[in-house]
Amino acid sequence: MEETNPSAMIYLNNAATSWPKPPEVPAAISESLARPIFGSGRTAGSQGEDYVALAREALARFFGAGPEENWIFTHNATDSLNILIPGFLAGIEGPCHVITTALDHNSVLRPLHELEKQGCISLTIVPFENAIVSPDAVLNAIRPDTRLMVMSHGSNVLGSVQDIQAIGKILHRHGIYFIVDGAQTAGHIPVDLGNFPVDAYVFTGHKALFGVPGTGGFYIRDPERVASVRSGGTGTDSFSLLQPQEMPEKFEIGTHNYPGLAALAAGIAFVNSAGTDAIAEKGERQTSYIIQELRNEPNIVIYNETPHLPIVAFNIRGMENDDVGFILARAYGVISRTGLHCAPLVHQALNGGKGCVRLSLSWFTTDEECRITVNAIREVAHNADSSLSQA
Ligand SMILES: Cc1ncc(COP(=O)(O)O)c(C=O)c1O
């Protein structure tokens, strides 16, 4: 396939990774690489910015939750879940019961299924209805041996946002740990973690926070409750041959991704300057426009007509979703994401696992791009319709 010219491209795959980045982001990366990393331990020292501290401070402020050292950097959201899930379960004796949902991504489902396969846990997957997991359904899934629930805040396929307040309160009433995967919500909607009844919140740097791939992390409310499942150099307490238990060293090993963290701090500063309320509002307005324009087309199926995130999931009857994505990219320069979006159970529930086309917008998506995309999809759908009626 020919490469799409970026200036002619309408990039609507921001739920996978955002593009473009605000100019401040590449500028921060360049700046971070302009000087060597100095100083003792792993800090940047006095010669330049301490990008790690800068990013930690930015996260604690942005999400309204501290202390700063409870914000941990990892490679991405998936890496964070692979640290947190066994970390929360480590202190629990014997096999226990864990809950997740059918809306979740493979970054949650696969670590849990691996643990189930090893006999460490039994797993209940709570279904969703109209893109929402009801707190009552979670309540009904609780057993005397339930110790942990892991679920996504926002669906990467349906764009729905779950009621973390209600679910978290139920779980905590039953003494159950709650890990929330915020990969799709961080940066898209306001998240006031200070008031969230969660034990850990996972974020990724490269989506709506406008950082780069290979950055992410988690917030942990009470680090004492979670075991460190990795060990290595921290630049501190080096005579100790066991992992230091102070924060953040308990969970952070090896050399940080300094340019990535410089990018993350710059990305968060950009989101702050745009404002999450304004970002959420614009996303909702543009998404509603696309849905309103397409919902009455006879051969277009839209899977959630009221998303809270700027995501539209659809299919054209009589066409494979991969073909629709290919035509949109090739003929119109519209970059979508097709297939299962790493969320197989969502698709199983929607249409037996056939997958769909996903458009995902960002703050940089223009109204004109939405209009062109709507017309492109209409045209593809009409062509499919006429070839269907001729067949
Ligand atoms: C809901 C959800 N969780 C987790 C991930 C994984 O994010 P990362 O690429 O940071 O590991 C994604 C994105 O791909 C996602 O949409």
Please report, for the chain, the start and end positions of each structural domain, with discontinuous segments joined by +. 6-21+275-390, 24-273
Contact assessment for residue 315 and residue 336, using Cβ atoms and an 8 Å cutoff: no
Ranking 11-15, 43-47, 322-326 by mean pLDDT, the lowest is: 43-47
Among 287, 267, 268, 271, smallest CA distance to 279 is for 271
Fold topology of 6-21+275-390: Aspartate Aminotransferase, domain 1 (3.90.1150)
What pLDDT band is residue 144 in, cutting at 50, 70 and 90? very high
Rounded Cα distance between 294 and 359, Å, is: 13
How far does residue 308's CA lie from ligand 1's centre (Å)? 17
Reported as a single tens digit per residue, the pLDDT across 262-301 is 999 999 999 999 999 999 999 999 999 999 999 999 999 9
How far does residue 77's CA lie from ligand 1's centre (Å)? 6
Spatial CB neighbours of 88, under 8 Å, sequence gap ≥ 6:
147, 148, 177, 179, 199, 200, 225, 226
- Judge if the beta carbon of residue 204 lies within 6 A of ligand 1: yes
Cis peptide before 20 (omega within 30 of 0): yes
- Judge if the beta carbon of residue 152 lies within 6 A of ligand 1: yes
Average pLDDT over residues 178-202: 97
- Judge if the beta carbon of residue 260 lies within 6 A of ligand 1: no
b/e map 234-253, b = 16+ CB within 10 Å: bbeeeeeeebbeebbbbbbb
- Start-to-end C-alpha separation, the chain: 28
* Angle CA 65–67–71, to nearest 5: 75
Give the mutation target among 342, 345, 346, 358 for probing the ligand 1 site: most ligand atoms within 8 A of CB. Answer: 342
Model pLDDT, residue 8? 81
Reported as a single tens digit per residue, the pLDDT across 300-348 is 999 999 999 999 999 999 999 999 999 999 999 999 999 999 999 999 9
Three-class SS state of 96:
strand
Pull the structure tokens for residue 171: 């779980």
Rounded Cα distance between 337 and 173, Å, is: 39
Fold topology of 24-273: Aspartate Aminotransferase; domain 2 (3.40.640)
b/e map 12-34, b = 16+ CB within 10 Å: bbbbbbbeebbebbeebbeebee
